[in-house]
């Protein structure tokens, strides 16, 4: 009898936080209004990726703010591009704020597959707390290696039900016939997978083709 | 001096540099005429030295933060295969030769180059084959590179995030009919990737039949015949269909015959046998089509079936292209030969439409709002039809023609302004590149019509059984008290009339809520309209005291929510012709105690009209009560019925809620001219600060209509002279200050068409020239509702706030139409003759409640409307009503003219207020003529005694600052039109901060207006309209008593209400131009 009591107690205690979590989530869901601002987490890669993602961001409306940029720590060029983009945007929209975050690079260009797994795990450890802290509504990335850990952590956040996050992956314009490595990985994780060439659309039916958007 | 530019991007590409600097390459370049070579070497090992010979110069550098000038200057760009450089060069429109770095073997760069080469945008080679490629390539064959469309991505994201983030997906009416849902977008994408095109079919039960009739008979009209064919076929071969149907087969067939019955798989099998065609169904984006029937027929019917069983027909893109061209040809014939529009104008219109402004690139067009437009896939042409369409949507405002289906003649409305020669829908059809889904268009319109009549019926249910009401048997007849027996269908109500003890079935039109307010004996209905020039307004309210006044400025509100396109104009015209105004005596006879009982239920939240509070006036005798009935009526269920003022919630929601509740049916206005009882609340379409819906219905302003044939009263003003003589400019120009695409107000206001509201621009912002706040959140639309008029819209502030404004019954009905300062608007409002007049004053302090600006709280834009603190000149055009006829007599026989009154105390003034009223008006009218020079009235002492009685009238802010008054008025006086422009262009009119004035100081509103065209001889006005007694014309309290002279300001005392000034507009004739179209 004694043990029965304890087990039930243990079970209820363990279930209690989960229950609380669900209720919280339910309550939180009610308050999201349609045109509330949308917290955006953008993964900026090196060179071409940043220009592409900034072009996409440029067309977004005012409600996508604040914008959190995540860069690989070894990436110099992107920061400067992002700052001048944000300058322009601040002129256009009054209250647009953004933040820059750096995480260790998950994979150097042309780094061997095996070692990149290690580095990716390392950067996942960095991106998880970041994702937990930021709790973005939308994660937007277009292919640099660093987006894999971020998307994985965002995905984790989603599974745990802590935050309703939409992961949007836009494949880079250079990819005409086959996906980049991170594209292949995130094809399953992302909610919306956008490609820019019809050929890719055939190969990956689940993806979306909206014409050339960059 | 042609130059070539070589770039290797951020990495290094030494092979390219060595190859290009090798002599054969330089020689080849020179042969091709390039005598200048610029090298961007990047991290390359060596950087060649710059040198220049007579015929050839070479420059080299490693990095630059931006290569755009080099690309711009170059006539040929040789680049590595990096995506960034490729795109940059192609978008700059420069010929591009891409050199692949085969050492890299990371071939994704090659992929892009090869694809772009296949699309004919560039040439590519390796560093070894550079030289012969240089010689062999022919740059002229390169096709222009269409820029990417990030806005498609943005729209997609908005939709996606909208659904994901928001828990409640607004399934508004609009969405159901017009907008493409997300699944539709993906489906369309999928189909377009297969080279197919989904033609939207009417979203009702007839969709399958329409689709089949269209694919078999090439038009959708025979969908009923198709349905009957199916029923008879199934009846004939009952045995092989019976097994699929549970229950009685006959009943099933019967139900199938009813057009409201949708069809399914069983019917498809039947059709396949009837028309021996096989059905191919596309059900899910991504999945290949499934054969619904497999009877081996070669002819196929392609359908796209959505999850909820809705069928759309599917055609090949080729069909769409051909159909577009045929459609264009057909429309051209239609317009050229049937409507004999001249060739040239047609061509220019189409041309203008085709290369419509490209500027509006960022209006997203994914799943474009305009569901019924199916445009051809984006072609290589620079401005894809789709983009063109978006741009046009921003222009599309005026008057989409009532298009019947293709066979019917297309009654094109005469183009109003040169810029928009043809209605937008017609232009879509005329454009050979756009295939306009006309059937769906027509269906959408019929849907909207239905929607409106639903309101009507819905409104009809306002009358509950046993409701007391007033009914008249024939239009214009006498009203009897009656009880409602029951509410029939389509606007018929059976009533039991007490006096006649009979039961009648009466159309809703002739019904009127009963009003308890005791009739005011003195008033009698304005009768004797001259020669019927005045638009016959049948129906309408007679409030107990049988006094009918049509409250002109209500028209502004009416216009506000009465979004009836043509009708509105008609209504305005009707009003204008009648422009009956509350007779002065009525206006100032309101005693506060007798004032209408209906209070603005919104405590604390005073809408700008609230403060037209009529202070107690000496002449209490002639109290005029506001009909309570109507208010009672409205309060019952907060719904708006046709007779009941529409009650929009303020602010943007005002739009939405208007949309849902709005009673704006065309049929309504056509079926009867019932004046609406206008809910005061609707005058201020401001987003309520407190965000909640104002609870009860505020006071209603009831339109009263000039009744015909009643005894003496001020004769209705037959203004046949100048058609829409006093067509007050529509009150509220909702001019979005910031959105470039906002339609010029004058156009907007004068002929705001109802149609437009249905075609909001792609990004959800309604570009229509509606008088509503375009839903664009960040644009601040302000409307000045300047109801300065009569008791009719007496509004009592909440009990809490005492109302200081002694505003005597302003006789001048003025539609103040706040024209934004932004010059574009002002210039375009040239035709709206604006009189620099005291403006609706709302000091910012009270602005939240009082401010007329509809600025949604979140946008920081200060209220455009000039409030003293803002100091920006706003020019309010207003309408000046000509003075009424001498009471009780037509101009013709007006015999007795009272002697001059010279006694300063005014004792020898004529006793009869009507006469007083008349001559006062006459005096005032002449006062506004140019014959009065400004000096004259500066010294004018306040006029006759009744004036003193009025307490401080916190006179509205006038734009004028001391330095400018005289010139201002002069200018104002002689030519109204420039004034607005000058005022705004100067913009420098600074309004000094007004010192707080002790209450009780008497001021007079600055009413500068000029009645530009002298009233026509024999011009009689039915409106006993005298600019408010106390409004002494352009009175600039220059006298020392006002301290720093002509500074006009309004006491910024929050508890005070800012009385709207009496704005008199200038030459009304001007308005008629637009109106009389």
Non-local (6+) Cβ contacts of B400 within 8 A are B423, B424, B425, B426, B753, B755, B756, B759
Predicted TM-score of the model (pTM):
0.36
Interchain CB distance below 8 Å, A209 and B165: no
Interchain CB distance below 8 Å, A34 and B165: yes
The reported pLDDT for the residue numbered B994 is 40
* Cβ under 8 Å to A: B residues 92-131: 106, 108-109, 111-112, 114-115
Separation in Å, CA of B165 to nearest CA in chain A: 6
Q: Is-contact A140 A42, C-beta < 8 A? A: yes
Q: Is B153 on the interface with A (CB under 8 A)?
A: yes
State in Å, rounded, how far the first CA of chain B is from the last one: 59
* Cβ under 8 Å to A: B residues 339-398: 362, 364, 366, 378
The reported pLDDT for the residue numbered B719 is 35
Non-local (6+) Cβ contacts of B142 within 8 A are B95, B96, B120, B121, B122, B123
The reported pLDDT for the residue numbered B560 is 37
Local structure of B304: helix, strand or coil: strand
- Give chain A positions within 8 Å (CB) of B364: 59
Separation in Å, CA of A118 to nearest CA in chain B: 23
The reported pLDDT for the residue numbered B962 is 38
Interchain CB distance below 8 Å, A211 and B378: yes
Interface test with A, best of B65, B114, B166, B167 (most A CBs within 10 A): B167
Going by pLDDT thresholds of 50, 70 and 90, the confidence category of residue B944 is: very low
Q: Scanning every residue of chain B, which has its alpha carbon at the shortest distance from the alpha carbon of A200? A: B193
- Give chain A positions within 8 Å (CB) of B763: 61
Q: Is B763 on the interface with A (CB under 8 A)?
A: yes
Interface test with B, best of A31, A40, A193, A213 (most B CBs within 10 A): A213
Q: Scanning every residue of chain B, which has its alpha carbon at the shortest distance from the alpha carbon of A109? A: B106
Distance CA B683, CA B787 (A): 8
Going by pLDDT thresholds of 50, 70 and 90, the confidence category of residue B346 is: confident
Separation in Å, CA of A29 to nearest CA in chain B: 7
Enclosing H/E stretch for B311 = strand B311-316
The reported pLDDT for the residue numbered A194 is 92
In this predicted structure, which of A17-21, A116-120, A194-198, B831-835 has the lowest mean pLDDT?
B831-835
State in Å, rounded, how far the first CA of chain A is from the last one: 68
Give the β-pairing of B700-702 and B479-487: unpaired
The reported pLDDT for the residue numbered B854 is 34
A135, burial (CB in 10 Å: exposed 0-12, middle 13-18, buried 19+): middle
Interchain CB distance below 8 Å, A33 and B186: no
Whether pLDDT at B769 is above 60: no
- Burial readout A162-194 (b: 16 or more C-beta within 10 A, e: otherwise): bbbbbbbbbbbbbbbeebbebbebbbebbebbb
Interchain CB distance below 8 Å, A176 and B82: no
Going by pLDDT thresholds of 50, 70 and 90, the confidence category of residue B1060 is: very low
| Residue from the list A164, A208, A213 with its beta carbon closest to the beta carbon of B186 | A208
- Give chain B positions within 8 Å (CB) of A29: 167
The reported pLDDT for the residue numbered A35 is 57
For the ranges A137-141, B500-504, B689-693, the maximum mean pLDDT occurs at A137-141
What's the whole-number mean pLDDT along residues A108-132? 81
Going by pLDDT thresholds of 50, 70 and 90, the confidence category of residue B453 is: low
Separation in Å, CA of B470 to nearest CA in chain A: 46
Q: Which of B31, B102, B119, B204 is labelled catalytic?
A: B204
Going by pLDDT thresholds of 50, 70 and 90, the confidence category of residue B101 is: confident
The reported pLDDT for the residue numbered B929 is 66
The reported pLDDT for the residue numbered B818 is 33
What's the whole-number mean pLDDT along residues B463-488? 71
Distance CA B553, CA B881 (A): 11
- Give chain A positions within 8 Å (CB) of B114: 176
Phi, psi of B42 (to 5 degrees): 65, -140
The reported pLDDT for the residue numbered B5 is 93
Whether pLDDT at B556 is above 60: no
Interface test with A, best of B153, B166, B778, B862 (most A CBs within 10 A): B153
The reported pLDDT for the residue numbered B95 is 92
Interchain CB distance below 8 Å, A56 and B193: no
Share of chain B above pLDDT 70, in %: 40
- Give chain A positions within 8 Å (CB) of B161: 38, 137-138, 166
How many whole angstroms from its chain centre is CA B761? Answer: 11
Q: Is B148 on the interface with A (CB under 8 A)?
A: yes
Greater model confidence, B219 or B599: B219
Going by pLDDT thresholds of 50, 70 and 90, the confidence category of residue B476 is: low
Separation in Å, CA of A62 to nearest CA in chain B: 9
For the ranges B264-278, B986-1000, B1056-1070, the maximum mean pLDDT occurs at B264-278
CA-nearest of B936, B563, B623 to B755 is B563
What's the whole-number mean pLDDT along residues B462-489? 70
| Mean pLDDT of the residues in chain A | 82
- Give chain A positions within 8 Å (CB) of B63: none
3-state class percentages of chain A: helix first, strand second, coil last, to nearest 5: 50, 15, 35
Whether pLDDT at A165 is above 50: yes
Whether pLDDT at B79 is above 60: yes
- Give chain A positions within 8 Å (CB) of B168: 34
- Give chain A positions within 8 Å (CB) of B158: 61
B713: which DSSP letter? S
Catalytic, B326? Answer: no
Whether pLDDT at B572 is above 50: no
| Residue from the list A59, A94, A174 with its beta carbon closest to the beta carbon of B112 | A174
Catalytic, B310? Answer: yes
In this predicted structure, which of B343-357, B469-483, B693-707 has the lowest mean pLDDT?
B693-707
Q: Scanning every residue of chain A, which has its alpha carbon at the shortest distance from the alpha carbon of B164? A: A166
Token reading at B359: 């500027």
Non-local (6+) Cβ contacts of B184 within 8 A are B306, B367
Torsion of CA B974, B1069, B582, B560, to 10 degrees: -110
Q: Is the predicted ipTM greater than 0.90, yes or no?
A: no
Interface test with B, best of A30, A164, A193, A211 (most B CBs within 10 A): A211
The reported pLDDT for the residue numbered B419 is 52
Q: Is-contact B6 B20, C-beta < 8 A? A: yes
The reported pLDDT for the residue numbered B496 is 80
The reported pLDDT for the residue numbered B32 is 87
B1055: which DSSP letter? T
What's the whole-number mean pLDDT along residues B557-568? 36
Token reading at B62: 């490693």
| Mean pLDDT of the residues in chain B | 56
Distance CA B760, CA B436 (A): 17
The reported pLDDT for the residue numbered A167 is 92
Angle (CA) A30-A31-A35 rounded to 5° is: 120
Q: What is the DSSP string of B935-964?
A: HHHHTPPP-STHHHHS----PPP-S--TTS
The reported pLDDT for the residue numbered A60 is 85
Whether pLDDT at B707 is above 60: no
Distance CA B948, CA B942 (A): 8
What's the whole-number mean pLDDT along residues B968-979? 35
Whether pLDDT at B11 is above 60: yes
Distance CA B958, CA B609 (A): 18
Distance CA A174, CA A49 (A): 10
**Locate tokens 């066979």: which residue?**
B407
Going by pLDDT thresholds of 50, 70 and 90, the confidence category of residue B78 is: very high
Interchain CB distance below 8 Å, A138 and B157: yes
The reported pLDDT for the residue numbered A168 is 92
| Residue from the list A30, A51, A208 with its beta carbon closest to the beta carbon of B167 | A30
Q: Is-contact B839 B764, C-beta < 8 A? A: no
pLDDT tens digits, one per residue of B106-145: 566 778 888 889 889 999 888 888 988 988 888 888 888 8
The reported pLDDT for the residue numbered B405 is 34
Distance CA B748, CA B869 (A): 28
Give the β-pairing of B290-291 and B278-282: antiparallel
Q: Which of B310, B483, B543, B1058 is labelled catalytic?
A: B310
What's the whole-number mean pLDDT along residues B404-427? 50
- Give chain B positions within 8 Å (CB) of A210: 149, 152-153, 156, 189, 366
Phi, psi of B1040 (to 5 degrees): -50, -30
Whether pLDDT at A24 is above 70: no
Q: Which residues pair with B315 in a beta bridge?
A: B197
Q: Which residues pair with B98 in a beta bridge?
A: B79, B124
**Cβ contacts of B416-422, under 8 Å, gap ≥ 24:** B416/B747, B416/B751, B416/B1074, B416/B1077, B417/B747, B419/B395, B420/B395, B420/B396, B421/B345, B421/B348, B421/B349, B421/B352, B422/B335, B422/B346, B422/B349, B422/B353
Q: Scanning every residue of chain A, which has its alpha carbon at the shortest distance from the alpha carbon of B859? A: A94
Interchain CB distance below 8 Å, B148 and A173: yes
Q: Scanning every residue of chain B, which has its alpha carbon at the shortest distance from the alpha carbon of A56? A: B150
Share of chain B above pLDDT 90, in %: 2
Q: Is-contact B6 B79, C-beta < 8 A? A: yes
């Amino acid at each position: 009898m004694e043990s029965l009591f304890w087990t039930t107690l243990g079970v209820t205690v363990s279930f209690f936080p989960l229950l609380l979590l669900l209720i919280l989530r339910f309550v939180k869901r009610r308050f999201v209004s349609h045109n509330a601002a949308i917290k955006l987490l953008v993964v900026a890669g090196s060179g071409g990726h940043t220009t592409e993602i900034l072009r996409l961001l440029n067309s977004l409306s005012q409600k996508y703010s604040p914008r959190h940029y995540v860069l690989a720590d070894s990436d110099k060029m992107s920061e400067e591009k992002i700052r001048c983009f944000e300058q322009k945007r601040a002129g256009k929209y009054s209250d647009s704020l953004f933040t820059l975050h750096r995480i260790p690079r998950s994979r150097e260009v042309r780094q061997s597959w095996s070692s990149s797994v290690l580095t990716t795990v390392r950067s996942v450890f960095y991106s998880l707390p970041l994702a937990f802290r930021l709790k973005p509504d939308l994660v937007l990335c277009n292919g640099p290696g660093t987006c894999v850990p971020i998307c994985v952590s965002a995905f984790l956040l989603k599974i745990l039900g802590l935050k309703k996050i939409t992961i949007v992956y836009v494949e880079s314009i250079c990819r005409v016939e086959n996906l980049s490595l991170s594209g292949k990985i995130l094809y399953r994780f992302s909610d919306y997978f956008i490609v820019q060439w019809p050929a890719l659309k055939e190969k990956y039916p689940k993806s979306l083709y909206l014409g050339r958007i960059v | 001096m042609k130059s070539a530019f070589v770039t290797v991007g951020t990495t290094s590409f030494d092979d390219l540099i060595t190859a290009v600097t090798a002599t054969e390459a330089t020689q080849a370049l020179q042969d091709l005429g390039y005598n200048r070579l610029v090298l961007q070497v990047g991290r390359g090992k060596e950087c060649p030295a710059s040198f220049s010979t007579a015929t050839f110069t070479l420059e080299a550098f490693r990095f630059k933060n931006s290569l755009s000038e080099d690309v711009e200057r170059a006539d040929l760009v040789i680049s590595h295969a990096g995506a960034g450089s490729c795109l940059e060069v192609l978008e700059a429109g420069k010929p591009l030769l891409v050199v692949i770095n085969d050492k890299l073997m990371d071939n994704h760069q090659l992929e892009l180059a090869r694809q772009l080469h296949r699309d004919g945008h560039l040439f590519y080679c390796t560093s070894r084959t550079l030289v012969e490629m240089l010689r062999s390539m022919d740059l002229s064959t390169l096709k222009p590179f269409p820029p990417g469309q990030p806005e498609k991505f943005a729209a997609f994201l908005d939709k996606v995030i909208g659904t994901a983030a928001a828990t409640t997906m607004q399934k508004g009416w609009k969405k159901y009919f017009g907008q493409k849902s997300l699944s539709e977008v993906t489906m369309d994408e999928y189909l377009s990737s297969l080279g197919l095109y989904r033609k939207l079919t009417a979203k009702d039960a007839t969709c399958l039949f329409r689709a089949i009739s269209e694919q078999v008979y090439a038009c959708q009209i025979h969908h009923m015949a198709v349905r009957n064919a199916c029923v008879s076929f199934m009846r004939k071969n009952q045995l092989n269909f019976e097994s699929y149907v549970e229950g009685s087969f006959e009943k099933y067939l019967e139900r199938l015959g009813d057009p409201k019955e949708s069809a399914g798989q069983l019917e498809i099998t039947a059709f396949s046998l009837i028309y021996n065609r096989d059905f191919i169904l596309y059900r899910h984006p991504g999945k290949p089509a499934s054969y619904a029937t497999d009877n081996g027929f070669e002819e196929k019917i392609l359908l796209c079936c959505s999850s909820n069983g809705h069928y759309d027909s599917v055609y090949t893109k080729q069909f769409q292209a051909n159909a577009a061209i045929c459609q264009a040809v057909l429309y051209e014939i239609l317009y050229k030969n049937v409507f004999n529009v001249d060739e040239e104008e047609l061509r220019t219109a189409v041309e203008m439409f085709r290369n419509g402004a490209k500027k509006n690139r960022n209006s997203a067009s994914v799943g474009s709002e305009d569901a019924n437009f199916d445009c051809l896939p984006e072609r290589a042409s620079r401005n894809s039809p789709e983009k063109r369409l978006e741009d046009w949507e921003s222009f599309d405002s005026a008057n989409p023609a009532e298009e019947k289906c293709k066979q019917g003649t297309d009654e094109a409305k005469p183009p109003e302004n040169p810029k928009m020669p043809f209605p937008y829908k017609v232009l879509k059809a005329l454009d050979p590149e756009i295939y306009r889904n006309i059937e769906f268009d027509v269906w959408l319109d019929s849907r909207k019509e239905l929607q409106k009549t639903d309101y009507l019926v819905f409104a009809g249910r306002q009358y509950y059984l046993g409701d007391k009401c007033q009914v008249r048997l024939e239009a214009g007849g006498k009203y009897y008290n009656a009880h409602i027996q029951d509410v029939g269908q389509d606007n018929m109500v059976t009533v039991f009339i007490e006096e006649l003890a009979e039961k009648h079935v009466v159309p809703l039109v002739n019904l009127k809520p009963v009003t308890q307010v005791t009739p005011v004996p003195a008033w009698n209905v304005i009768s004797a309209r001259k020669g019927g020039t005045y638009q016959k307004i049948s129906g309408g309210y007679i409030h107990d005291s049988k006094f009918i006044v049509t409250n002109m400025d209500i028209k502004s509100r009416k216009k506000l929510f009465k979004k009836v396109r043509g009708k509105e104009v008609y209504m305005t015209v009707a009003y204008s012709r009648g422009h009956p105004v509350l007779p002065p005596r009525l206006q100032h006879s309101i005693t506060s105690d007798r004032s209408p009982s209906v209070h603005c239920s919104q405590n604390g939240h005073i809408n700008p009209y609230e403060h037209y509070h009529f202070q107690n006036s000496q002449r209490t005798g002639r109290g005029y009560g506001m009909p309570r009935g109507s208010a009672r009526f409205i309060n019952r269920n907060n719904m708006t019925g046709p007779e009941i003022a529409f009650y929009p919630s303020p602010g943007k929601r005002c739009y939405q809620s208007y949309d849902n509740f709005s009673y704006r049916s065309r049929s309504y206005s056509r079926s009867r001219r019932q004046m609406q009882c206008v809910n005061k609340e609707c005058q201020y379409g401001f987003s309520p600060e407190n965000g909640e819906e104002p609870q009860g219905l505020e006071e209603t302003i009831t339109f009263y209509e000039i009744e015909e044939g009643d005894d003496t009263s001020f004769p209705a003003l037959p203004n046949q002279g100048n058609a829409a003589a006093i067509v007050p400019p529509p009150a509220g120009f909702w001019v979005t200050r910031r959105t470039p695409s906002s339609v010029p107000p004058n156009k907007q206001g004068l002929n705001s068409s109802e149609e437009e509201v249905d075609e909001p621009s792609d990004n959800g912002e309604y570009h229509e020239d509606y008088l509503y706040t375009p839903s664009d959140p960040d644009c601040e639309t302000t409307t000045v509702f300047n109801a300065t008029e009569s008791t009719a819209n007496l509004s009592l502030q909440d009990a809490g706030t005492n109302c200081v404004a002694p505003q005597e019954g302003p006789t001048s009905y003025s539609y103040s139409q706040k024209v934004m300062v932004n010059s574009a608007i002002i210039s375009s409002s040239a035709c709206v003759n604006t009189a620099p007049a005291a403006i609706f004053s709302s000091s910012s302090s009270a602005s939240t409640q009082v401010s007329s600006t509809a600025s949604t709280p979140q946008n920081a834009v200060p209220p455009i409307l000039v409030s003293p603190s803002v100091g920006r000149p706003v020019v309010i055009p207003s309408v000046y009503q000509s003075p009424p006829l001498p009471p009780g007599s037509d101009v013709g026989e007006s015999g007795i003219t009272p002697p001059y009154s010279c006694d300063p105390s005014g004792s020898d003034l004529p006793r009869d207020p009507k006469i007083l009223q008349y001559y006062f008006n006459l005096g005032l009218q002449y006062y506004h003529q140019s014959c009065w020079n400004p000096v004259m009235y500066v010294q004018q002492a306040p006029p006759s005694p009744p004036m003193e009685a009025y307490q401080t009238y916190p006179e509205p802010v006038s734009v004028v600052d001391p330095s400018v008054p005289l010139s201002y008025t002069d200018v104002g006086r002689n030519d109204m039109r420039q004034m607005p422009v000058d005022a705004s262009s100067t913009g420098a009119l600074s309004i000094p901060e007004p010192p707080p004035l002790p209450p009780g100081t008497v001021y007079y509103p600055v009413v500068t207006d000029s009645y530009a065209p002298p009233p026509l001889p024999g011009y009689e006005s039915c409106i006993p309209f005298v600019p408010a007694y106390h409004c002494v014309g352009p009175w600039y309290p220059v006298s020392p008593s006002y301290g720093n002279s002509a500074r006009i300001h309004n006491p910024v005392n929050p508890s005070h209400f800012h009385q709207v000034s009496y704005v008199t507009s200038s030459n009304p004739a001007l308005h008629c131009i637009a109106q009389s179209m």
